Structure 1
């Protein structure tokens, strides 16, 4: 048998290693979400979501009610003059990813002009829209069709975009990563990324069990992306209980909230807060709060300092324990365990603080900033809701 020259062997190994390290083709996720996104150029497809909705009616109807569709809302808009053109462009990578919609929005702030764009004025108000995820360089991408739908999709020759390019990556958590995970070089507070939802999922049993973001936030491919702002979605991810245990010397109240089905910490970001409270009503009708706890990541307004972090990892529980004497328990008529969710708690504090100092804003920005800031503040103040109220009666 012919012997292999050792020097030739090692050269081959080195060449293969060099190729794997430096010449390996980028993965789909890296290409698809390379910020800033490239311009679509000249396209024949109308990128307006309403146009997509003429064929994809269910997806369009769901999308209209989502936070994705409102990513360019007053809470985002009022901040743009303060953070400037460059900072605004960075924020728009996720809030308005397409360069055409960025240009339209920046022009409204006097930071450029729109010339020869096929994207209509108003497209920038659609936030994260169909084209943000599905359109690249005039080509439409999407997940592989579900079993049984192949013929209906691929044999329709009348569709305006001549079909689409199927990619399995649309059903992987990594597809959501670029906008829901801080990059490795990003700022950290007490060693934690401001956005770590993908990382929290990656470290959880959900990832090990191949449960993807889309399984919970896009069940049956519904374009709803429900989260902390949706009570039913939150209820599906937690378990609550209330026990009142009489004893010889009185009673013990034990209430629990468990992160039973959320694939990341509950809540995930520093914005939402969840309030746990135990209330007692006496036989005379008087009510008093006897225990409370806040779940969340509390940061200061400048996002520089951690005040506390009481978020629940998947499978973890928070308890409230209350001990009552025999005399106290004899006067109890009712016990309640109340869980309240404030999905925009940090925004509420931050917006209110800025509104308090609204007179200090530059005069040339007030006509843009103040109306949007007021709307944003009103929205955050109305976002709080009661999730659960459990009762025990004597």
Structure 2
């Protein structure tokens, strides 16, 4: 037992890892362990967790519905910034970890706990995301990361321990892949996916239908925005969580949102991830389309130059860092006039923009038209081009 630790709050999922961790914490620290579950949209995976946790030795159990907070305060701010990490990852897991860890800290403070614990592995990003949040919000709490402390080497060791201690888990050595689910996405990694040449099995996908088997008729939808936030689908208003849930259902039946990428983890390892993000994919496309008619060119270009940095901060776990918060202020400033509607056609895995309109539109047909008009003097273009070409003439005549 480590001196000064009488109570630990564990981020608990009910899977093999956290079930073993719960028992291991009690034996190692000889203290009370509180199992804390955050509902960010895992669905049926949350069924029966209280009974399972207490059967594994939990002294107390918390289950907290964070779906609305997750979407409103984490997903929507990131989507206002068009945050995409590397080759198209819409940050589903990255955005869920800080909201889970933040509430875990609240539970720990309420329970007067001495420590918080998580089940993230020592090679992944999640250990960083959890612990940076802990350190930002409650630096006095002890952080326990069992995968960096215990003697277990892998899944077979955990299964043997669970059987020995009669921990109620259903697990075998067959592990085709690991899965993480929330309202924004489902991610798959590990196991057979560790070979980047291996095609993901067709029955792996839990959310979206295969594009080849999607509906044969396209569907048009209209998404309404207010200051960069989505608020309506086909004129119907939704709360943030209900909006994303409904959009997920629409996108899933059209096979939208599947990606297979190799990304660079923060710890320096390349990792293959397969993702299903149906609603998020549609939302990202719609949001960018509305910006094209409502954002000033130079503001957009400046904002776009900052997207990789913003996304990197979120991916790395710096949600509560001052630089992310400062960037968020800028991102939100750019969204003041991003209000209006976007019309999209969904078909066989594709999401196509087919219309956009806004009361703040900067698009003027009389300027854009190829027909003659009084708003634009064609002769002005001649001087404009000559001035921009002056330095090129000098460079090629003298500079070389």
Q: Aligning the two structures, in what range does the TM-score lie when normalised by the shorter sequence? A: under 0.3
Q: Which structure's relative contact order is higher, taking Cα pairs within 8 Å and 6+ residues apart?
A: 2
How does the TM-score come out when normalised to structure 1? Answer: 0.27
Determine which structure has more spread, i.e. the larger CA radius of gyration. 1
How does the TM-score come out when normalised to structure 2? Answer: 0.26
Higher helix share: 2
